[in-house]
Structure 1
Amino acid sequence: MWKNSFLRNPKAFRLDKSGFRPLLVVKSVNDGDNVEHTKEENEEKARFRWLKIGSNITEEQKQAIAQIPQKMENRCRALLKQIICFSPENGSISLMLAAWVKSMNPQRANWLSVLKELERLNHPLYFEVVEHALTEESFEANVRDYTKMIHGYAKQTKLQEAENTLLAMKNRGFICDQVTLTALIHMYSKAGNLKLAEESFVEMKLLGTPLDRRSYGSMVMAYIRAGMLDCGESVLKEMEAQEIYAGREVYKALLRAYSMIGDSRGAQRVFDAIQLAGIIPDVKVCGLLINAYVMAGQTREAVIAFDNLRQAGLEPNDKCVALVLAAYEKENKLKNALDFLIKLEKDGIMIEKEASELLVKWFRKLGVVEEVEIVLRDYALGVPEPAL
């Protein structure tokens, strides 16, 4: 290369008499033909044209602008108005933001103010603005900014965009911390990629910092989504050994999973773990345990669980009553079902829609006259019986 350089061979470098003008070849958007433009001409085209916002904006844009907080700095309000009324015909978002940075010299607080408002408005350009902000020196990006973006993409199941953000974060020298890896586990588990979720979990453990309930909980949820309930339960036990307890939603998700497949033993273990974690079971949690016993064909245990619910001072809902009736129906124990209903009535508990519909179907199977269906429907609606 040095041998052929024009510095070694000046004759190889000649200027036209008309003067040297570097040419850039770009493709015309309108006709698709190659058109030559000078560098100066292209720089002129690259300049963003700020919109003059007047009466020509849509009603939706007017409403969005009206929602901008009055206390917001003028530089931020000006940018928000431009974003709300943005049209690709005026340039690109990146050019607009670059022009704003050059003219307004924003600080990180200004960026955050704009992003917060765009997020509140659920604006479609939010992520595009964040992506550009991360490249601006004035934004002073940190690892948490990237984590929030990854989490945002994960919520919208945009796996590729999230991974691109992760790569950009690493290229800038930021190291994945516990919060970032937790977001990745959550993202991979929702996408059904258990392998990557497990790899992120192992990487998180290798950081050497103690894991918190959110980090553990994300992995439990990953195993639940993958149908590996025993692995999820093992992670819960690992937590309990360190006196760390997952949130109610994690325990409830595992209990529901066991309940739906009729694994009464697994459901009972999780139900016990819930109480060990200091979480007081509500009617819905108790209903999941009752359902597990019904699905397993264990009517006696289902009734015991129902009685325990009442002894705990909870009032059973329609679903719980219907589950016990379904258990009696499976074993064709009509007398037991009627005794159960009479006992509830004495205690002032009336059956509602789901339980009454189940009874109607049961009586139909037994060939009972249609009048019984009418009585039960009125009973469910609280209509008083006619005087004899």
Structure 2
Amino acid sequence: MNLKHLLSRQITKNLSKLKGVSFNCQRNLSTISVPVLPSTSPKSHDFTLSQNPKTAKPGLSFRRYIFSNQETERIASSISPKTDSEEEEDRDMNEFLSRFVWIMRGKMSDAYPDSDKKTIDGMLLMIVGKVVSEMEKGGLERMIESASASPSQDFSEDLWRTVWEVSNLVLEDMEKARKKEKMKGFLQSDKVKEMSRFAGEIGIRGDMLRELRFKWAREEMEESEFYEGLERLRKEANAQEMGEKAEGKAAAECAEVEEKPKVITLPKRHGKIKYKIYGLDLSDPKWAEVAEKIHERGEMILPEEPKPITGKCKLITDKILSLEKEEDPSPLLAEWKELLQPSRIDWINLLDRLREQNTQLYFKVAELVLSEESFQTNVRDYSKLIDAHAKENCLEDAERILKKMNENGIVPDIVTSTVLVHMYSKAGNLDRAKEAFESLRSHGFQPDKKVYNSMIMAYVNAGQPKLGMSLVDMMITSGIERSEEIYLALLRSFAQCGDVRGAGQITNIMRIEEFQPTLESCTLLVEAYGQAGDPDQARSNFDYMIRLGHKPDDRCTASMIAAYGKKNLLDKALNLLLELEKDGFEPGPATYTVLVDWLGRLQLINEAEQLLGKISELGEAPPFKIQVSLCDMYARAGIEKKALQALGFLEAKKEQMGPDDFERIINGLLAGGFLQDAQRVHGLMEAQGFAASERLKVALISSQTFNRQRQPTR
């Protein structure tokens, strides 16, 4: 059914029910003296709004809107009860006329500023009457055609053009309102609510969560419209199939349907169509404020689309996208900005394209865009750019963005602080990570699992597992789930420090939380007791691991041998190796490395070199740590060539050496009389940021005092 017939039927029903009914607005307007509008508009009050009026006919949009479900009752009527279909049609008709009058009132007031309210109301009454009359004749299509034809006897061409443009605007707004109402329904759907709850649990809040909710709702709406379209196609196909089966009957029915509108006659109208919106006067200035707020909310639900990029602007865009990372994009951006006059959505569209094609160029352009006023930069934009730099391990760039953020007076929010915790924890900057973590808590935000894990790993990497353990206590108190990986990281850190108490505490918590002992956790306990110099407890845990069914590997066995080496219990270490070999165990590089180190300390050079050959037979390069043992062994034995050979290897990889490694090498060189080499290595140690112990300082001073130096032969 086309718009003409639908409107005709609506007006017919309305008029038949309105006979003898008196509306309030009719009584009010009956006393108004209605002036006759001139056939041509005064020059000082030109209604022409555009030199190129739109060609799209609003009737098509209005037809779609007629069939939409509007939940707001806009018409307060005193007529007899209607069916749902009739009420819906009346509601749509009255909404169109209400919006039309509200907009036309403003335009009439602007065009005739000297006219009073009664005169304006009279003009509006005549205009609405003419619009309704045209609807009765042939619908809005007929009225639109009249706008482009010669002026009628009643109104000027400019006035008709204004009526036509206002009609277009009203229908567009009604269509947007329909989409907005539909979007509201999807925003409250179970799926979107579930995804929003999940996003909130993982720390996504504020503007970002709102954007995601709208995105998910739009996707749901698009999917629903897609399936509705498929359903319509299915029904059309079924109808066509049925038509083919009964072709003769269908043809007769179609002919009757096509001819039926032609014989429809409209009853003579007994007055104007009257309407009232809850008894409110829409000319009140407060409704303008309400309309602006509704428009703003509509933009939030239905964001604006980026401007089309054509012509020269497209060429400039292509040049920007093809820039190399070392080139300066500022001149092209300035030209692009001047041509397009971009809004925020246009900038975002450009940045998204850059991110897909050239990450490095995206970073440069995004940093420049932050200072653009039309971009409407907010704290989230800074956070996203800082996070992007952090993921690329560009710490200096991220800190530069953070500095610029502070200089512009933008205070980091919860999202920014979360990003900084992850970034500084990954970079090993404990102080800055703690600062960001405390900033989170000062905002009243409860850190989530990921933030806690990042902060714990920062403490672990800094060799402070006790502080990391305090965060575990906070997680337990807050009911946040702990992972086995974070417990193993803490256990590993306690083991390296030889803190058996902390290692035992972690083990007990894992047992309470029903984490089963693994080969890794048992190995770390053995290592912890070995570092603490308690080989008996280390062996007890070693045997317990075997009873659990775990077969000791090379690393676990090396940890047990190292525990015996702390107390120089060589016989027990050899007996353990013999027992394990009976069960099929074969020593690997880790076990041989511990034995070479032990024999080197005992100055059993031949035996150590034999074990060194065993490592070569395995087809693997000797571990880095073994070079420290060899350098110390050969230096103490006075074997200058081999000592300096091992020392040269260590100097080439000094970044991998720790303070204990430096001290052992320097003490070995001093014991062998290599004073100059010892002093050189001491300089390397300080350059790496390690301070020598008091004992080492005394040894260096005493070596110089007693002149026990020896010139090395290169």
Question: Is this a same-fold pair by TM over 0.5?
Answer: yes
- In the alignment, the residues of structure 1 paired with residue 350 and residue 473 of structure 2 have an alpha-carbon distance, to the nearest angstrom, of 45
| Equivalent residue number for residue 335 of structure 1 | 571
Is it true that 1:118 corresponds to 2:396 in the alignment? no
TM alignment of 1:163-202, pairs within 5 A:
163-167=402-406, 170-171=409-410, 176-177=413-414, 179-187=415-423, 190=427, 192=429, 194=431, 197-202=433-438
TM alignment of 1:23-38, pairs within 5 A:
none
- In the alignment, the residues of structure 2 paired with residue 378 and residue 218 of structure 1 have an alpha-carbon distance, to the nearest angstrom, of 38
Deviation at 1:352, TM superposition (A): 0.6
TM-score, normalised on structure 2? 0.36
Name the SS for the 1:358 alignment partner: helix
Deviations 1:136-176 (A, max 9, x none): 467665544322322355543327414314326753xx760
Whose helix proportion is higher, 1 or 2? Answer: 2
Determine which of 489, 495, 498 is the counterpart of 1:259. Answer: 495
Determine which of 316, 325, 336 is the counterpart of 2:552. Answer: 316
| Equivalent residue number for residue 369 of structure 2 | 133
1:193–1:170: structure 2 CA closer, same or farther, 3 Å change rule?
A: farther
Deviation at 1:131, TM superposition (A): 0.6
Name the SS for the 1:82 alignment partner: coil
Deviations 1:337-366 (A, max 9, x none): 233223322332211112124335545738
- In the alignment, the residues of structure 1 paired with residue 446 and residue 608 of structure 2 have an alpha-carbon distance, to the nearest angstrom, of 65
| Equivalent residue number for residue 108 of structure 1 | 348
TM alignment of 1:215-364, pairs within 5 A:
215-224=451-460, 227-247=463-483, 250-274=486-510, 283-360=519-596, 362=598
- In the alignment, the residues of structure 2 paired with residue 82 and residue 376 of structure 1 have an alpha-carbon distance, to the nearest angstrom, of 56
| Equivalent residue number for residue 394 of structure 2 | 156
- In the alignment, the residues of structure 1 paired with residue 462 and residue 332 of structure 2 have an alpha-carbon distance, to the nearest angstrom, of 44
- In the alignment, the residues of structure 2 paired with residue 362 and residue 226 of structure 1 have an alpha-carbon distance, to the nearest angstrom, of 28
Give the partner amino acid of 2:614.
R
Name the SS for the 2:491 alignment partner: helix
Name the SS for the 1:208 alignment partner: coil
Q: How much is the aligned-residue C-alpha RMSD, in angstroms?
A: 3.9
| Equivalent residue number for residue 214 of structure 2 | none
**Equivalent pair of 2:420/2:436 in contact (CA under 8 Å):** yes
Question: Over alpha carbons, which structure has the higher Rg?
Answer: 2
| Equivalent residue number for residue 323 of structure 2 | 82
In percent, how many aligned pairs have the same letter?
Answer: 32
Name structure 1 gaps, 5 residues minimum.
1-72, 383-388
Deviation at 1:302, TM superposition (A): 1.6
TM-score, normalised on structure 1? 0.62
Name the SS for the 1:83 alignment partner: coil
- In the alignment, the residues of structure 1 paired with residue 377 and residue 548 of structure 2 have an alpha-carbon distance, to the nearest angstrom, of 52
- In the alignment, the residues of structure 2 paired with residue 254 and residue 200 of structure 1 have an alpha-carbon distance, to the nearest angstrom, of 21
Name structure 2 gaps, 5 residues minimum.
1-313, 620-714
Give the partner amino acid of 1:82.
L
Deviations 1:116-138 (A, max 9, x none): 4333xxx3x44322212334467
Name the SS for the 2:591 alignment partner: helix
1:191–1:351: structure 2 CA closer, same or farther, 3 Å change rule?
A: closer
**Equivalent pair of 2:428/2:461 in contact (CA under 8 Å):** no
Deviation at 1:287, TM superposition (A): 3.2
1:380–1:283: structure 2 CA closer, same or farther, 3 Å change rule?
A: farther
1:369–1:127: structure 2 CA closer, same or farther, 3 Å change rule?
A: closer
Name the SS for the 2:481 alignment partner: coil
Larger mean CA deviation between 349-358 and 367-376 belongs to 367-376
| Equivalent residue number for residue 450 of structure 2 | 214
Name the SS for the 1:288 alignment partner: helix
1:322–1:95: structure 2 CA closer, same or farther, 3 Å change rule?
A: same
Give the partner amino acid of 1:156.
C
**Equivalent pair of 1:150/1:183 in contact (CA under 8 Å):** yes
- In the alignment, the residues of structure 2 paired with residue 162 and residue 278 of structure 1 have an alpha-carbon distance, to the nearest angstrom, of 44
- In the alignment, the residues of structure 2 paired with residue 295 and residue 368 of structure 1 have an alpha-carbon distance, to the nearest angstrom, of 25
| Equivalent residue number for residue 373 of structure 1 | 610
Deviations 1:273-303 (A, max 9, x none): 3455666665444433322111101112222
Give the partner amino acid of 2:406.
L
1:271–1:77: structure 2 CA closer, same or farther, 3 Å change rule?
A: farther
- In the alignment, the residues of structure 2 paired with residue 97 and residue 128 of structure 1 have an alpha-carbon distance, to the nearest angstrom, of 11
- In the alignment, the residues of structure 1 paired with residue 388 and residue 450 of structure 2 have an alpha-carbon distance, to the nearest angstrom, of 17
TM alignment of 1:43-122, pairs within 5 A:
78-84=319-325, 87=327, 92-103=328-339, 106=346, 108-119=348-359
- In the alignment, the residues of structure 2 paired with residue 245 and residue 100 of structure 1 have an alpha-carbon distance, to the nearest angstrom, of 50
Name the SS for the 2:395 alignment partner: coil
**Equivalent pair of 2:351/2:365 in contact (CA under 8 Å):** no
